[in-house]
Amino acid sequence: MAGSEQKSAQEKKPLMRILLTLALVLVPGAFAQDNLADFRPVVVKTAPSAGSESVDPALTEIQVVFSRKMLDKSWSVVQINPDLFPKTQGQGAYSPDGKTFLLKVKLEPGKTYALWFNQGVRFDKFKDSEGKAAVPYLLYFQTKK
């Protein structure tokens, strides 16, 4: 970077700090959540766990537990790559409490799998009962040989 460009970039840092401070002071609550209901739902647990390296290929169901009750018959299970997406058996469904999404699968030994639960604006159908889209979650795991 040339000397004048470097100086210009350094001069912008204090300005950015001032603008951020003003935003925090002048717009109370803009960056704060007052209670849990203000947050979007999140995945709190999966079975198998993300990053697992020795999942039993006999496993027939992926379970995704959310932080709150989700909207029934609404989900977005997104494939990154067809080779990494498990074979599914039928449609997914929620448990009776509405917090756990269940996806029937047929896994193969010694294979890596990866799938998103929500991804971007287009695939955001995992929503709570108030219509808030869940934070996207990437589940990836590998089965035993």
Q: Tell me the DSSP string of 108-136.
A: -TT-EEEEEESBTTTB---BBTT-PBPPP
Q: Give the pLDDT score at 19.
A: 66
Does residue 32 have a pLDDT over 70? no
* pTM as predicted: 0.77
Predicted pLDDT of residue 22: 59
Q: Give the separation between CA 37 and CA 7, rounded to whole angstroms.
A: 45
pLDDT at residue number 28:
53
Q: Is the pLDDT of residue 88 over 80?
A: yes
Work out the average pLDDT over 97-124: 97
The per-residue pLDDT of the chain, averaged, comes to 88
Q: Given a cut of 60, is residue 25 above it in pLDDT?
A: no
